[in-house]
Structure 1
């Protein structure tokens, strides 16, 4: 279904991705983990055609993604939706209009200029917001929402594209643990209910284990781990992060814990 063959990306003398190869033969939820600078974001940007690889090939159902240009490239980007860490919403625009921006690839220039949307698309946008639990915020400005709510708006915008693949680049890095779990569960539900492939860059090991079917670990641009969540042992994590025996998974945890009955929730976000 999706195949990476020796994908490499260089920026001058620096190599961000080194001969990355893997195959995904069915829709699943995949987590890509590794420390900052490991090449995770570059890998997703290459797949979405936001940047071109230096060498290698990506194919999806027999289509050579690496060769796409112009209208064919834009069509692929509509099928391979991207969700970003910082949401990339229009802050002063209402929520439902932000979601409707997911239809821009199939609308005319005139309708885009005057924000003219078919009733069918408006109803679809509200239905998606309802599915994500934020329909009551549809008329509000995006900037009035919390970070977790804004990220769900970004997910809704991606779903408006009706993509075959959803890419999420550090979707929970700027969220508190409670909102992080809501966003990750939303992505998991989309995979299970829609049978869509979801690929998410993550910093946290417990998140990868809890929500993903498969985990790919990157270090210095190379894929150094590819397996099930159960195979992601502490030893494997040390290798991925280039850490010694002092490495503690607590530094990459979003788990919510209570220390005493009635105490407030305590949580830590990954430091890596």
Structure 2
């Protein structure tokens, strides 16, 4: 379904992604883990074509993606929606209009400038917000919502594109544990109910194990682990993160129960 072959991205003398090869034969939810700077975000940006690769290839259902230009490239970006850590919403715009921005790729420039949307798109946007449990916030400015609510608006905007793949770049990194759980459950539900592939960059091992069907570990731009959540042992995690025997999973957990066990207080976004 999705084939990444020897994909490399070089910045100067540094390889942000180094010869990455991944084969995904069916729709699943995949977590990519690793330290900051491991190449996770660059990999997703190349998949979405926000970044051009230095070498290598991406194929989706037999179609070569890395060579797409102009209109074909924009069409691919509609099929491969991106969700960002910092939401990328328009703060002073109402929630439903932010969601409707997911249709910009198929609307005329004139209609976009005048903020004109068909009634069916407006109804669909509200239905998606309802599905994500935030329809009552549709008329509010995006800046009035909590971080977790804003991230669900960003997910709704991605769903308005009706994508085949959803890429989530650290979707819960700036959220407290309760909102992180709500967002991850929403992404898992979208995968299961819609059959969409979801690929999410994650920092925490417990999140990857709980929500993902497959976990990929990156270190210094290279893929150093590719397996099931059950195969992601503490020893494997130490290798992915380049940590010593003092590495503690609990101290980096997003699970409230784990935080309680180590005596930590969740930090609110």
TM-score by length of structure 1 reads: 0.95
Cα distance in 1 between the residues matched to 2:16 and 2:51: 12
Tell me the equivalent position of 1:24.
24
Q: Does 1:179 align with 2:164?
A: no
Is the contact made by 1:98 and 1:157 (CA closer than 8 Å) also made in structure 2?
yes
Tell me the equivalent position of 1:219.
219
* SS of alignment partner, residue 31 of structure 2: strand
Tell me the equivalent position of 2:120.
120
Q: Does 1:135 align with 2:135?
A: yes
RMSD: 1.3
| Deviations 1:150-177 (CA, angstroms, capped at 9, x unpaired) | 0000000000000000000000000000
* Structure 1 unaligned blocks of 5 or more: none
TM-score by length of structure 2 reads: 0.96
Cα distance in 1 between the residues matched to 2:241 and 2:205: 11
Cα distance in 2 between the residues matched to 1:176 and 1:267: 10
- In structure 2, do the counterparts of structure 1 residues 210 and 226 end up closer, same or farther at CA, with 3 Å as the change threshold? same
Q: Does 1:248 align with 2:237?
A: no
* Structure 2 unaligned blocks of 5 or more: none
Structure 1 segments, 4+ long, off by >2 Å, are 257-260, 265-269
Cα distance in 1 between the residues matched to 2:58 and 2:144: 39
Tell me the equivalent position of 2:34.
34
Cα deviation for residue 267 of structure 1 reads 4.5
Cα distance in 2 between the residues matched to 1:252 and 1:214: 20
Cα deviation for residue 252 of structure 1 reads 2.1
Cα deviation for residue 109 of structure 1 reads 1.1
Cα distance in 2 between the residues matched to 1:176 and 1:236: 26
Tell me the equivalent position of 1:100.
100
* SS of alignment partner, residue 251 of structure 1: helix
Cα deviation for residue 250 of structure 1 reads 1.5
* SS of alignment partner, residue 201 of structure 2: strand
Cα distance in 2 between the residues matched to 1:57 and 1:239: 27
* SS of alignment partner, residue 256 of structure 2: coil
- In structure 2, do the counterparts of structure 1 residues 23 and 33 end up closer, same or farther at CA, with 3 Å as the change threshold? same
Tell me the equivalent position of 1:87.
87
Tell me the equivalent position of 1:12.
12
Cα distance in 1 between the residues matched to 2:38 and 2:119: 44
Cα deviation for residue 251 of structure 1 reads 2.6
Tell me the equivalent position of 2:49.
49
Cα distance in 2 between the residues matched to 1:87 and 1:187: 15
* SS of alignment partner, residue 172 of structure 1: coil
Tell me the equivalent position of 1:192.
192
Cα distance in 1 between the residues matched to 2:250 and 2:66: 39
- Note the 1:160-175 alignment, pairs <5 A: 160-175=160-175
Cα distance in 1 between the residues matched to 2:244 and 2:260: 29
